[in-house]
Amino acid sequence: MGSSDVETVFVAGASGGTGRATLRLLSSRVPTVRALTSTPSKTDDLQAAGADEVVVDDLLNPAALAEALSDVDVVLSAVGSNITDVWSRDEYVDGAGTINLLDAAVDAGVDAFVMESAIGVDDEPASPLATAFDVVIQPIQRAKAEAEAAIRDAPVRHTILRPGVLTNGPRTDTVSVAEPGAKLWGSVSRADVARLMIASPVTPAAEDRTLEVVARPSFPNRALDIEWRLPRSGGSETVTVDTPDDDP
């Protein structure tokens, strides 16, 4: 997918921390940013954050996804469940909701689908942090794993990002990105994850890959060397990701 080919981006989970960071970064880079929320009262806030259009729908019981995904080039899914949902829900937006979104995206002919998942999803060798994620939010992790599997099987270009502990810190552009099983652990800001989500559809090395992501601590000896690109109206922008030299 060319860097200047992205005309319309659909952001699911737009009212969350990563979603809002995504809206802010996208607003000056693509002609149309379409945001999804399940809460009508958040429409004005999402427009203020950078959304050109806001769609109100529930991914667990969607009614308007076909229309909402019309003419969309890229879907960015930043949806996520709260830890309290473990005890109060039988299905999760991370799983069934993401799969509903994926199916609608494939039917609509979307070119690329990006999912914000979590470190420790699936069966690869895991760090202690990833193992802790599995213990504390096991049902949510299983739901994410089901959505990941569906995405990998779908006929659409995809990238799945598995961040460590998410923070509300500033964008640093300093991250370690590695294949599953690299046993990364640590934290990463939602703003840094948002940048990688935006870059993934136009970065050749991110095509059809699942990647672990952390910023602190860094893991230069395990990290992949990826030249990330950001979409830009009329062209592209290459982003350099700096990684400190120390490897704990």
Spatial contact of 70 and 108, defined as CB atoms under 8 Å apart: yes
The CATH-assigned architecture of domain 8-239 is 3-Layer(aba) Sandwich (3.40)
Percent of the chain predicted with pLDDT > 70: 88
Q: Which of 65-74, 135-144, 203-212 has the lowest mean pLDDT?
A: 135-144
Residue 245 pLDDT level (bands cut at 50, 70, 90): very low
How do 53-56 and 74-77 pair as beta strands? unpaired
Mean pLDDT of 69-80: 96
Following CA atoms 91, 120, 116, 204 in sequence, which dihedral angle do they give, to the nearest 10 degrees?
A: -140
| Tens-place pLDDT, residues 112-135 | 999 999 998 988 777 777 777 766
CA distance 143 to 190: 21
Q: Which of 243, 247, 246 is nearest to 226 (CA)?
A: 243
pLDDT value for 244: 43
Element (H, E) at 112: strand 112-116
Q: Residue 223: how many CA atoms within 13 Å on its side-chain side?
A: 24
| Tens-place pLDDT, residues 143-197 | 999 999 999 999 999 999 999 999 999 999 989 999 998 999 899 999 999 999 9
Predicted confidence (pLDDT) at residue 29 exceeds the cutoff of 50: yes
Considering the chain, what is the average pLDDT of its residues? 89
pLDDT value for 247: 41
- The count of residues in the chain is 248
pTM of the full predicted structure?
Answer: 0.90
CA distance 11 to 25: 12
Higher pLDDT pick, 66 / 235? 66
Mean pLDDT of 76-91: 75
List Cβ neighbours of 237 (8 Å cut-off, separation of 6 or more).
3, 229, 230
Predicted confidence (pLDDT) at residue 26 exceeds the cutoff of 50: yes
CA distance 189 to 170: 7
Mean pLDDT of 17-30: 95
Predicted confidence (pLDDT) at residue 52 exceeds the cutoff of 70: yes
Higher pLDDT pick, 139 / 146? 146
Residue 248 pLDDT level (bands cut at 50, 70, 90): very low
pLDDT value for 136: 67
CB count within 10 Å of CB 247 equals 13
Q: Where in the chain are the domains? A: 8-239
Mean pLDDT of 100-120: 97
